[in-house]
A and B are shown apart, each in its own frame.
Chain A
Amino acid sequence: MRLPRTTPLAVHFGDDETRFLQLRGRPGDWQVGFHARVAGDAEELAAWAGEVPARGWKGRDAVVGLGPAQVESTIVPLDEEDEDGRDQLLAQAALTCVEDEEGVRYRWLPLGRTPGTRRRELLLLAVGESRVRRAGAAAAAMGLRPVSLEPVVFGLARAILAMQETTGAPWGFLHVGFEQAVFGVLHRGEVGFLKPLQQNGRSFLDALSRKAEELEEEPLPLVLEEATADHEQVSTATVWSPARLRRLSLDHALELLEAAERPADLLADEVRACLRHFHSRHKGAEVRGIHLSGFGATLPGVEEAVQRTLGRPVAEARPFSELGILAPPEILDEEPLWAPVLGLAMRGYA
């Protein structure tokens, strides 16, 4: 398939897959021009990329997104008297967050002031230079020209902002990636809060898989390889695939919902803490609801369990449907997984 000429190609380097998406048309009249999903590691991506020159990608602009597990984010409080040494303070904080022999690259955004103090909070995002280099090299191997390198949660925030543009009220977004979950709040058109969480998609998948084993005595269909810390030994973990779990949920919805409650409780505790932090900084700004995206959003029972434990509206992020973007069924079936990639592709148009 040939790519549209003017719109950039969004590339999301995820935890164990890479997604490509390109829009065709114009804002308000978008349709998906190209999409692809390559599962597996860098080797499989390279093999897939070997076919890319035949697709005529050479020199095309690419907006690249890095998964939550690849970008460290933290909130840095900054007293007024420390403003002069801000850059030094942020550089030290970035070096503390990320260990990379090639160096650390960081960006920061202002979040707001702490009430009753002369202190303000900055959102610090840091990434290792080696990751930046690898992402650039992977894009270059496919003939692409990277024009931006964002944390993919900003793509998700952009897509949700496009959905909520008319309301103006704060909305939360909970991205439950396989390796890393992140909670953020969109406030007044900006990311007003962002924090990585301890729980992740793997914890939900483990709990659901254990329950599935009790329910059926079939062979386990998905084997995950997990590299150990020294990058030499490889251990394996066996879990059920999300698709198989969804099929199982047709007959055992209640059992799976109960299984998801434990990790959902842990996740909800973290989200509640985040909301308390946000509300203490923004008096009167009540988060209307939470959009769920990422790997965890596709698991059965997770949406309901999180909603029940948090006690506020939680819904899968479905920006394609909400914004009326024409998309093929395979994207509409997994909208929470494609939402961040859509936001990447929309950069510069919103």
Chain B
Amino acid sequence: MRTADFLPPEVFADHLDRRKTPARLLVVAGVAMLGVLVSGAFALEAARLERAAAEAERPDPVAEQAARDLDRIYGEMERYAVRLDPLADHLGRPTVSWILSGIADRVGSGVRIEDLVWSYRPGVPDPRGRPQPDQVELAVTATVVGKGPLLELGDHLLDFTGFDRAEPRRQEVVKDFRDAVRVEVVLTKELGGNGPGGDR
């Protein structure tokens, strides 16, 4: 409702503004109280975590006893370590028994394995002095009938053994055996490589 106020309108507007002040203070107090409550909740959670951490760090008699037993076991194991190290070294080297048992079936038809010779070459530093890995060589002597099997023999051996290289060394005709050739292929693998044979 309009009225006739003989005082300037700003005076009553200021009064209305002052009238709102308690409500504003209530809102501010509410927000402040909310802040206090949230802070309190954080403080309680922090205290709980701190207690949990202190609890976790407190010496546990069972764990201490277990640690002592473990140290004792390690101490006893140390005495056998000298003997166990070469064994572990040996077990780390590539095995060849699976090659011997399976190579005859994997070189293809028309090929007959006659001889297998293993050799081991320690690594010799190159002229610049950089160390070179040790190598293992497998010399395969086989009789091959037909041109196709002869050409595929190297690939078959590499596929099966996982060696790095296959290099033919010697070929000769087999007497009284038509179309047959005796061939020697040398397979080479660097020890410590990631070929399939080295990991088996």
Give chain A's interface residues, CB within 8 Å of chain B.
Answer: 5-8, 61, 66, 105, 107-109, 123, 125, 127, 132, 146-151, 154, 157-158, 161, 189-191, 347-348, 350
Contacts and interface: CB of A to CB of B under 8 A. Distances in A.
A348 B12 contact: yes
Contacts of B2: 109, 190-191
Contacts of A61: 15, 18-19
Contacts of A157: 1
Contact of B5 (A6, A123, A149): A149
A123 B11 CA distance: 23
A66 B4 CA distance: 11
Interface residues on B, range: 10 to 19
The residue in A6, A61, A147 that gathers the most chain B C-beta atoms within 10 A of its C-beta is A147
B1 A161 contact: yes
Contact of B7 (A148, A154, A161, A189): A148
A350 B6 CA distance: 20
Given A61-B15, A147-B12, A148-B12, A127 B6 contact: yes
A107 B1 contact: no
B87 interface: no
A189 B5 contact: no
Interface in B1-50: 1-7, 11-12, 14-16, 18-19, 22
Given A147-B7, A148-B15, A154-B3, 5 more contacts: A61-B18, A149-B6, A154-B4, A347-B3, A347-B12
B7 A149 contact: yes
Contact of B19 (A105, A125, A150, A348): A348
Contacts of A148: 3, 5, 7, 11-12, 15
B1 to A, nearest CB: 6
Contact of A109 (B4, B11, B14): B4
Interface in B117-146: none
B8 to A, nearest CB: 10
A296 to B, nearest CB: 23
B4 A151 contact: yes
A108 B6 CA distance: 10
Contact of B6 (A8, A132, A189, A347): A132
A350 B5 contact: no
B14 A147 contact: yes
A244 to B, nearest CB: 37
Nearest to A8: B15
Contacts of B16: 348
B167 to A, nearest CB: 105
* A-B residue pairs, 5 tightest by C-beta: A147-B15, A107-B4, A149-B6, A125-B4, A154-B3
A132 B14 CA distance: 19
A278 B3 CA distance: 19
8 contacts: A61-B19, A107-B5, A109-B4, A148-B11, A150-B4, A190-B1, A191-B2, A350-B1
Contacts of A150: 3-6
A154 B5 CA distance: 9
The residue in B6, B12, B14, B22 that gathers the most chain A C-beta atoms within 10 A of its C-beta is B6
Contacts of A123: 4
A190 B90 CA distance: 110
A255 B3 CA distance: 41
Nearest to A194: B4
A190 B4 CA distance: 12
A109 B5 CA distance: 11
Interface string B152-184: 000000000000000000000000000000000
A332 to B, nearest CB: 25
Interface string B39-64: 00000000000000000000000000
Contacts of A6: 19, 22
A292 B112 CA distance: 135
A87 to B, nearest CB: 15
Nearest to B7: A149
Given A127-B6, A348-B15, A5 B1 contact: no
B179 to A, nearest CB: 118
A80 B149 CA distance: 123
